Amino acid sequence: MYSEKVMDHFSNPRNVGEIENADGVGQVGNPKCGDIMKMYLKIEDDVIVDIKFKTFGCGSAIATSSMATELIKGKTIEEALKLTNKAVAEALGGLPPVKMHCSVLAEQAVKAALLDYSKKNGIEIEQLKDFDPDEDVHEH
Amino acid sequence: MYSEKVMDHFSNPRNVGEIENADGVGQVGNPKCGDIMKMYLKIEDDVIVDIKFKTFGCGSAIATSSMATELIKGKTIEEALKLTNKAVAEALGGLPPVKMHCSVLAEQAVKAALLDYSKKNGIEIEQLKDFDPDEDVHEH
Amino acid sequence: MVKNVYMDNAATTPVKKEVLDEMLPYFTEKYGNPSSIYRLGREGKAAIDDSRNKVANAIGANPKEIYFTSGGSEADNWAIKGVAFANKKKGNHIITSKVEHHGILHTCEYLERNGFDVTYLDVDENGIVDLKELEEAITDKTILISIMFANNEIGTIQPVKEIGEIAKKNGVFFHTDGVQAVGKIEIDVDDLNIDMLSMSAHKIYGPKGIGALYIRKGVKIHPHIHGGAQEKNRRAGTENVPSIVGFAKAIEMACENIDEHNKKLIKLRDKLIKDIANNISHVKLNGHPEKRLSNNVNFSFEFIEGEALLLSLDMVGVAGSSGSACTSGSLDPSHVLLSIGLPHEIAHGSLRLSLGDFNTEEEVDYVVENLITIVDRLRKMSPLYENVKEDK
Amino acid sequence: MVKNVYMDNAATTPVKKEVLDEMLPYFTEKYGNPSSIYRLGREGKAAIDDSRNKVANAIGANPKEIYFTSGGSEADNWAIKGVAFANKKKGNHIITSKVEHHGILHTCEYLERNGFDVTYLDVDENGIVDLKELEEAITDKTILISIMFANNEIGTIQPVKEIGEIAKKNGVFFHTDGVQAVGKIEIDVDDLNIDMLSMSAHKIYGPKGIGALYIRKGVKIHPHIHGGAQEKNRRAGTENVPSIVGFAKAIEMACENIDEHNKKLIKLRDKLIKDIANNISHVKLNGHPEKRLSNNVNFSFEFIEGEALLLSLDMVGVAGSSGSACTSGSLDPSHVLLSIGLPHEIAHGSLRLSLGDFNTEEEVDYVVENLITIVDRLRKMSPLYENVKEDK
Ligand SMILES: Cc1ncc(COP(=O)(O)O)c(C=O)c1O
Ligand SMILES: Cc1ncc(COP(=O)(O)O)c(C=O)c1O
């Protein structure tokens, strides 16, 4: 069902935890659907110097959170905004079709944290103009 | 499916054959239904001194013919008329329900032969007054 | 050290050696078609007759009332659709419950799309239907009541005898899905007023792909598979002789020593329940505390999700199952857990451990030890747990 | 000396050792429920995926179009009822033939009792449908054509490709019962325009109780068993993993060397036909002389009855089958033999000998020798034969 990469990130997730006084915090998902992702960012000079996550969710939710943090750590905001759910899924060696929504959630969580950062710092991030972190990624 | 007795009478049928110049010959059944029994009687002083049969039909048709001839050989006409299909079936150690009609056929064949004998000899046999050898024993 | 601990016996069981041994000759030697009249065929026929007797014996039925099927789902489908279509002139109303197996629920939904009305009875927080509600739901259009004997997820046992009486009193046919109950609860179809009972072999150490429907004489029901004259013209298809023989052996073994089996299972079950409840916080036992299958343990672990739990257990060699939506690829968690009133997020974090004849106390210890670690690890990752700790 | 000669391979076959060997681990070791996410479950899932590929391969289909069933009868029932009920808004007319297996015929009769119209096409004296009649039978209400690939009694092979073309041209779904054809005739569902194909494992040295329905993508059909999500929500029930694995192995073995198998079978078949025809008078070969299954021999022996023939053969260890009514407990002989124009009394005296991979030339000799004696013995007992002798 899951690739080795997914299992690796599920059983040894990178960057789990919280960042105290994070520069940006984003949470997406909803407990009814069985997954919530929360991302914490430390940003210095437009670079994401640290990132942590907490996830309530299935194996692939945890693995995609972990992979997303790895892909973004050390990147500029500009670069981070280019992270797509597909890229996360691909980096994990693929996800089962029914689990693709987890990768969407990971992408959303990063964006939500960046949005929080932009708001806190009064920065306008063009690419997040239409982004709504409360929007539901599940097609109910 | 079949009792040992049935198989014995099927594989070693008693009294198979014809009797030349038989005193009574009866045939019942119909090839469409898959069974025809023909009985030949030799009668002396109201006693069935010889009986033979020919049968086109399934295993139990052959076995019931054989058993019926055995039960009747040496009996008086009076006694022979008392032969019931149940008695034939019982003597064979029972028949599968769907094969009970074979034993009926055997009873009918004996009666048909006796009817022929009575007609040939101008004797009236009370018990055969209403007997119709062409009547179909199958409930089509 | 990774152990192999199989605690998903409600999903399926291994075939016991004694069962397989009975089956084997029918694959390669006694392979005749039971409809054939030669020796090989008669041997197959005799094996089926003998098996039918054994299955009938196990539930107090007449062998003529046992119809072999390809499993529990087929038996469920047949009972529901067969009675519905055969009795639609009489009425178009069916009563069932919200906690049935999908084999019943999806069949009922199919019938709803085809002109039937179905009442899905609520259950209480333990998963039990209300007899008064049942009785009130019956109308003059009601042709069938189908309430499962024991629930596959939470193990709750329904008041089958009382339901049977209500059905009988009202002249309605009563079907019960006995897939989880057979071999764990003594069943006498006459005593319990059961008109139809679904069974499946692979839950009781028999092979997959074989089961039976008990159909009481007099029940008006359509044949399920049309064709050859097998199963008295009601379920066509060359008989699956090896599996039928295996099913019979399995049900015989399960029902022979039902009390002894249960005693062992209940001991393990109660230890597992106690050890989890005593060692892990924020847990909830689902299902009825007493009216419960001897092998069923079902817990909700708050703040974590079931699939993650299962995967983690798998990594230490433990096989269990979950009511999580994620395990099925759907979004809603188990309908059973929602029906007993669990909020979605708690239903998502449920775990079913179902015991079997091969489990041991050491295995229970091993599972609990690992559960403690796993739940702790997952909770530490969970943003929901964070808030709880803050609450404290 | 009583030999054991099995010549009823069209009724069922023994499971080949290679097949059983593949199955065995799935009973006792790899017994996991394929819907489960732990290792044991994933193993079962992988085995099913692999098996689905093999079955698809054997008929040139996409694995996604293969749905496992409990056998040929279920596949037939599903195809007919599933398409009928799903398309009844479009039309209520079905076309089939008079020589179909009962799995088709009785299902069609059931549909007739439920608002459908069915045309049963006649066949010629060899058992072949008339393509012009077929085309003329199609109306704007026709939703399905179901004509079998090869007949189980007389071995006649239908012009499947032409039927498929007619169906396609007229926008009607085409189902064919391939239970006897698979493994003996090369099948490519695309090339032949087949929309649905029924298969069964136990006719090709696989286990009983497993088969499949090929359903082309785009065919509108109802699920057959409602319940779990197995078989893409179309055929619920815990998968019969060992049997699925066995079926796949069997179909793979059968289709790998189809030409070689056939060469051997045809040699035996033609010897058997020749030796019977040359040594026994008043016999008639039933079925098409050339368009015929490689393993089918079907003769009528005038003046004698089939069951008596079968019992006699059984006594010398030969297993065959017959179109006699007596073998089935009904009164009318085989509908197939009547459909090709045999009079009742001749249909009653028919014998099918179906060859298999394990038969030898010596067995053919043994059977013919014994047949000569048996037919002679039974004819001597037959009042019908008497007249014939007199005629001479
Ligand atoms: C042509 C044909 N169709 C269908 C079937 C039914 O297959 P099964 O016995 O697997 O149900 C058979 C054999 O019995 C058959 O020969
Ligand atoms: C209560 C219940 N009913 C029906 C079924 C279906 O049985 P099967 O898998 O044999 O089709 C199951 C198990 O899957 C079950 O637990």
**Mind listing the pLDDT tens digit for each residue in D276-286?**
999 999 999 99
The CA distance from B88 to the nearest CA of chain C, in Å, is 22
What are the residues facing A56 on neighbouring strands? Answer: A36
Residue B28 Cα, ligand 1 centroid: separation in angstroms? Answer: 37
Mean pLDDT of C264-272: 98
Per-residue confidence (pLDDT) for residue B98, from 0 to 100? 85
- Residue C219 makes CB contacts below 8 A (sequence gap 6+) with C83, C173, C195, C196
- Check pLDDT > 50 for residue C154: yes
Share of chain A above pLDDT 70, in %: 96
CA distance D236 to C213: 16
What torsion do the CA atoms of D2, D5, D11, D17 make, to the nearest 10 degrees? 120
Over its C-alpha atoms, chain B yields an Rg (Å, rounded) of 14
User: Does the beta carbon of C379 lie inside 6 Å of ligand 2?
Assistant: no
The answer to whether the Cβ–Cβ distance between C305 and A96 falls below 8 Å is no
Query: Is the CB–ligand 1 distance for residue D158 below 6 Å?
Result: no
Q: Does the pLDDT of residue C237 top 70, yes or no?
A: yes
| Among candidate residues D173, D31, D18, the one with its CA nearest the CA of residue C207 | D31
Q: What is the ipTM of this complex?
A: 0.93
Residue of B18, B31, B96 lying closest to D344 (CB–CB): B31
Q: Report how far apart, in Å, the C-alpha atoms of D41 and of each of A1, C14, C25, C247, D232 are.
A: 10, 12, 28, 22, 17
Place of tokens 């084997």: C24
Is B102 designated active site? yes
B16, B18, B58 member nearest D307 (Cβ): B58
Q: Is C286:C340 a contact under the CB 8 Å cutoff?
A: yes
**pLDDT tens per residue, range C5-38:** 999 999 999 999 999 999 999 999 999 999 998 9
Predicted local distance difference test score (pLDDT) of residue A27: 95
Of A98-102, C275-279, D47-51, the poorest mean pLDDT is in A98-102
CB A29 within 8 A of CB A47: no
d(CA D10, CA C53): 29
Instruction: Report residue A1's pLDDT band, with 50, 70 and 90 as the boundaries.
Output: confident
Quick: pLDDT tens for A115-138. Answer: 999 999 999 888 898 888 877 655
> What pLDDT shows up at residue C386?
76
Of B109-113, B131-135, C46-50, D140-144, the range with the lowest mean pLDDT is: B131-135
Kindly give the confidence (pLDDT) of every residue in chain D, 392 residues in length, as a single tens digit, with 9 standing for 90 and above: 568 999 999 999 999 999 999 999 999 999 999 999 899 999 999 999 999 999 999 999 999 999 999 999 999 999 999 999 999 999 999 999 999 999 999 999 999 999 999 999 999 999 999 999 999 999 999 999 999 999 999 999 999 999 999 999 999 999 999 999 999 999 999 999 999 999 999 999 999 999 999 999 999 999 999 999 899 999 999 999 999 999 999 999 999 989 999 999 999 999 999 999 999 999 999 999 999 999 999 999 999 999 999 999 999 999 999 977 666 666 678 999 999 999 998 999 999 999 999 999 999 999 999 999 999 999 999 999 976 765 54
Average pLDDT score over chain C: 95
The whole-number pLDDT of residue C328 equals: 62
How many C-beta atoms lie closer than 10 Å to residue D81's C-beta? 21
Q: Specify the fold of B4-120.
A: Sufe protein. Chain: A (3.90.1010)
pLDDT band at C327 (very low <50, low <70, confident <90, very high): low
Please tell me what DSSP assigns to residue C237: S
The tokens of C205 are what?
A: 């150490």
Active site residue C326: yes
Query: Between A98 and C55, where is the model more confident?
Result: C55
* pLDDT tier for residue B140 given thresholds of 50, 70 and 90: very low
pLDDT bucket at C390, cuts 50 / 70 / 90 = low
Distance C151 CA to ligand 1 centre (A): 36
Q: pTM (2 decimals)? A: 0.95
What pLDDT does B139 receive? 44
Nearest to D102 by CA among D160, D163, D148: D148
Q: Report the residue of chain D nearest A2, measured CA to CA.
A: D37
Residues of D in contact with B138 (CB under 8 A): 331
Chain A interface, best mutation among D33, D35, D36, D37, by max A CB count within 10 A: D37
Q: What span, in angstroms and rounded, lies between the C-alpha atoms of C180 and B33? A: 49
Instruction: Delimit the domains of chain A by residue range.
Output: 4-120
- In this prediction, residue D332 carries a pLDDT of 77
B4-61 pLDDT, tens digit per residue, is 999 999 999 999 999 999 999 999 998 888 899 999 999 999 999 999 999 999 999 9
Q: Do chains A and B touch (3 or more CB pairs under 8 A)?
A: no
Distance from CA of D390 to the nearest CA of C (A): 34
Q: Does B96 score more than 80 pLDDT?
A: yes
**What's D213's DSSP letter?**
E
Among protein residues, the one with the nearest Cα to ligand 2's atom 9 is D238
pLDDT value at position D2? 60
Please give the Cα distance from C147 to C165 (Å, whole number).
13
Q: Cα(A116)–Cα(A48) distance, rounded to whole angstroms?
A: 14
Strands C296-301 and D318-319: unpaired
- Distance from the Cα of A128 to chain C's closest Cα (Å) equals 24
Which residue is associated with the tokens 């790998």? D256
The pLDDT assigned to D331 comes to: 65
Residues paired with B35 in a beta bridge = B30
* Cα D103 to Cα B108: distance, rounded to the nearest angstrom: 37
